[in-house]
Amino acid sequence: MPAASRTAAALGVAAVSIVLVPMLVSDFVLLQIVIKSLWLGIVGAGLAFLIGQAGILSLAQTAVFGASGYVMAILVLDHGWGTWWAVVAALAAGPVAGLIVGVISRRSSGLYLMMLTLAIGVFVFFFAQQYQPITRGHTGFNGFDAPMLFGWDLNERRPLFYATAVAALAVTALLRYVARTPAGLAFRGLRDNRHRLQALGYSAETTVVSAFVVAGAAAGLGGVISVWYNGAISPGSIDLTRTIELLIVIVIGGTLRFEGAFLGALAVTLLRNYASDFTNRAETLVGVAFMAVVLLTRHGLTGVLIGFLSRVRHALRLVRGQRPAPDQEMAGRPVGRPGP
């Protein structure tokens, strides 16, 4: 199948899903599982892109996400901005916050960068909690009303679902587009060999910062939707627990494909909502499941899924008596990552 028709098929399936999902699930599941997974997945997709494409493990993604949500809440509730102007500002705040994190950590890499961004993330949390003149401190912002969009009230679940689903598609498209540009190539260069990238005349530091900006854009969008979803934002929305939860999303989803973040988000959301129905030690269950995924899979659920699908496809071709196409033979291996 040519790429164009594949894209069309994928979009078709997405469209069908968007129409079908609200009919198939209850309002509760639509909001608390589907919409939550989608916005968590949007934030996660940005981080998965950062990790999978640029090899940057940032723990400041929650802070970037929070910056955007806080900007919107502050502008609307404290400065009386119109909601859509505030949305624009919040969407800009994501990449800007990403830029700042990127500039601070541009010279680090690897686990060191991870810890540095963790420190930044915790700084932002404490700032939100302590600096009351701007952030209202520990209580944060309550009672935020989502705006109207084309006559639809985003406080209601179906409109919010449609908006979130479109946002998720938009983020997917954006990240896929970026991955194909020269910048995307530079990101992978950074991931694979920073020194070689520099030898080719790229600035590693600029590349790091750009990657943070891209991830920040996704976080910004997720931040806006999360405030619509929660109707509130407080330091509790961006604390260490939330940072760890986002990491769990990424690891369960896998970073081979940033789209895996949506799968990871769904798994985490389901666990968070239903694990306590089965056990009194839900946290232990989450932790053990997490360790199992880390131990047993290299690329999370996405890796498992991809491996499974490629095996199915392989089997189908054999059944049809076709010779396996060359690309199918590679299917089990990570894609987009050059070999030795």
Partner 1 sequence: MRAATRHRSKPNGRAGTTQAQRPSGRRPTAEKRLVAGAVAAALVIYIAYESIQIGDRSLLVLLNGLTAAGLYFLLASGFTLVFGLVRVTNLAHGGIYLIGGYISLTAQRTTGNWLVSATAGAVFAAALSIALYAVLRRLRGDGLRETMFTLGAAIVIADQVLARWGGVPSDLDPPSLFNGSVGLPGSDLLYPKFRLAVVGLAVVVGLSLWAVMHRTRFGTTIRASVDDRDMVSILGIRVELVFAAAFAIAGGLAGIAGAAGGTYLSLAQGEDNRVLLASLIVVIAGGLGSIGGAAAAAVIVGLVEAFAQTHHPILSVLMTFGTLVAILALRPHGLFGRRTDARS
Partner 2 sequence: MRTPKRRALGRLLAVLTAATLFAAGCGDNGDSADPAEEPAATAASQDAAETTEADEAPEPDSEPEPTETDAEGSGTDRIVIGAISTLDGPFAALGDFSMHGVKLALLEYGGTLEGTATRDGVTGASVAGVPIELVIEGSDATPDVAVEATRKMVEQDGANIIVGPLSGDEGLALKDYIRELPHVTLVNGTSASQDLTLRDPAANVFRFGGDGAMWTFGVGTYAYEELGHRRIATVAEDYSYPYDQVGAVLTEFCALGGSVAERIWVPLGTQDYSSFIAQIPSDVDAVFFAMGGTDAINFVKQYDEFTGQSIPLIAGPTAVDQSVLSELGSRAEGLISSGPVVDDAGLAEFDAFAEYLDSVFPGQTPNIFNVYYYVATKSALQALEEVGGDISDGSLAFQAALAQQSWVTPIGPVTLDDNRQAVVDMYLRRVESGAQRTIETLPKVNATLGFDRDEYVVQGSFSRENPSCG
Residues 128-147 that bind partner 1 (CB under 8 A): 130-131
Binding flags for partner 2, 95-114, as an x/- string (CB under 8 A)? --------------------
- The interaxial angle of helices 204-230 and 182-192, nearest 10 deg, is 110
**Which residues are within 8 A (CB) of 279 and not within 5 positions of it... i.e. 6 or more apart?**
285
Contact predicate 60/101, CB 8 Å = yes
Q: Closest distance between partner 1 and the C-beta of residue 43, in Å?
A: 18
57: contact with partner 1 by CB under 8 A: yes
SS3 338: coil
For the four alpha carbons of 256, 30, 143 and 277, in that order, the dihedral sign comes to negative
CA-nearest of 120, 145, 115 to 62 is 120
Q: Closest distance between partner 2 and the C-beta of residue 310, in Å?
A: 8
131's contact among partner 2, partner 1, none, with CB below 5 to 8 A by partner kind, is: partner 1
Give how many residues touch partner 2 by CB under 8 A: 74
CA-nearest of 227, 229, 236, 261 to 247 is 261
Which of 28, 84, 85, 126 forms a contact with partner 1 (CB under 8 A)?
A: 126
DSSP state of 236: G
123: contact with partner 1 by CB under 8 A: yes
> What is the β-pairing status of strands 152-153 and 148-149?
antiparallel
Q: Which of these segments, 70-78, 81-89, 156-164, 186-194, binds partner 2 (CB under 8 A)?
A: 156-164
Token reading at 167: 């946002």
Q: Which of these segments, 9-17, 47-55, 77-85, 316-324, binds partner 2 (CB under 8 A)?
A: 9-17
Whole-angstrom distance, CA of residue 215 vs CA of residue 65: 10
129: contact with partner 2 by CB under 8 A: yes
283: contact with partner 2 by CB under 8 A: yes
DSSP state of 71: H
Whole-angstrom distance, CA of residue 263 vs CA of residue 284: 21
Interface positions, 202-261, toward partner 1 (CB under 8 A): 240, 244, 247-248, 251, 255
Which of 31, 92, 104, 232 forms a contact with partner 1 (CB under 8 A)?
A: 104
113: contact with partner 1 by CB under 8 A: yes
| Residues of this chain that bind partner 1 (CB under 8 A) | 51-52, 55, 57, 104, 107-116, 118-120, 122-123, 126-127, 130-131, 191-195, 240, 244, 247-248, 251, 255, 281, 283-284, 286-288, 290-291, 294-295, 298, 337, 339-340
